């Protein structure tokens, strides 16, 4: 059992990779964006946008870990305070925490992905390229152990990520 955190800017491929890895590991994926968009759709207003979504996902993750289910968190995790939530949860539940920082090493491809996603979705909460650049400016460097996956360069990153998340035999 593991608590895995897939972090990185919008449009880098976190959700796609998380889903592929979850299928291999039979893990649950809990996406902060899904919770955040749903809260907005139901008119939940908060003074710190996104804050409640992280809390809801953490609570759901704790319930999954209690029943022995590995969990993959799919979230930007741009700042240390958001990341500390997962550290505290892993410590409290006494499970290993593994961070997978996902990036797209080619700016033109990253922009293409963001714009394609924006064009095909309900725009509520889905960032456009300008908003992604703003988030990039706010994104604090990750410190500590993690696996960095560049979805532009990696042809098939799933086996490497599964190996990183799986306990040694």
Vertex 137, ends 136 and 143: CA angle to 5°?
75
The total of other beta-carbon atoms located within 10 Å of residue 136's CB is 12
Cβ atoms of 151 and 110 closer than 8 Å: no
CB atoms < 10 A from the CB of 92, how many?
Answer: 10
Q: What pLDDT is recorded for position 40?
A: 85
Taking only the tens place, the pLDDT of each residue in 19-72 is 999 999 999 999 999 998 888 889 888 777 688 999 999 999 999 999 999 999
How confident is the model over 67-82, as a mean pLDDT?
95
CATH topology of domain 3-160: Rossmann fold (3.40.50)
Show the DSSP H helices in the chain as ranges. 14-25, 32-41, 51-66, 80-93, 107-120, 129-138, 158-165
Pull the structure tokens for residue 85: 């939530």
Percent of the chain with pLDDT over 90: 77
Query: What does pTM read for this prediction?
Result: 0.92
C-alpha–C-alpha distance, residues 169 and 167, integer Å? 6
Three-state secondary structure call for residue 10: coil
Kindly state the percentage of the chain with pLDDT values over 70.
Answer: 95
Q: Hey, which residues does 31 pair with through a beta bridge?
A: 74
Q: Could you tell me which residue, 144 or 4, shows the higher pLDDT?
A: 4
| Domain range summary for the chain, segments of one domain joined by + | 3-160
pLDDT band of residue 169 (cuts 50, 70, 90) is low
> By C-alpha distance, which of 169, 163, 167 is closest to 24?
163
Closest CA to 102 of 153, 27, 48: 153
User: How far is Cα 32 from Cα 38, in angstroms, rounded to an integer?
Assistant: 10
pLDDT digits (tens, 9 = 90+) for 11-24: 999 999 999 999 99
Pick the residue with more confidence: 90 or 38? Answer: 90
Q: Is 6 helix (H, G, I), strand (E, B) or coil?
A: strand
């Amino acid at each position: 059992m593991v608590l895995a955190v897939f972090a990185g800017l919008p449009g880098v491929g976190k959700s796609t990779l998380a889903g592929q890895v979850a299928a291999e590991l039979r893990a649950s994926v809990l996406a902060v964006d899904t919770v955040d968009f749903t809260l907005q759709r139901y008119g939940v207003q908060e003074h710190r946008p996104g804050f409640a979504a992280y809390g809801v996902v953490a609570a759901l993750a704790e319930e999954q870990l209690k029943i022995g289910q590995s969990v993959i968190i799919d979230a930007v995790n741009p700042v240390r305070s958001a990341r500390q939530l997962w550290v505290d949860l892993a410590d409290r539940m006494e499970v290993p925490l593994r961070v997978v920082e996902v990036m797209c090493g080619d700016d033109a491809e990253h922009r293409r992905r963001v714009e394609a996603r924006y064009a095909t979705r309900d725009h509520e909460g889905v960032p456009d390229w300008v908003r992604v650049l703003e988030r990039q400016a706010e994104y604090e460097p990750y410190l500590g152990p993690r696996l960095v996956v560049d979805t532009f360069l990696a042809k098939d990153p799933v086996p490497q990520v599964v190996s990183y998340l799986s306990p040694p035999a």
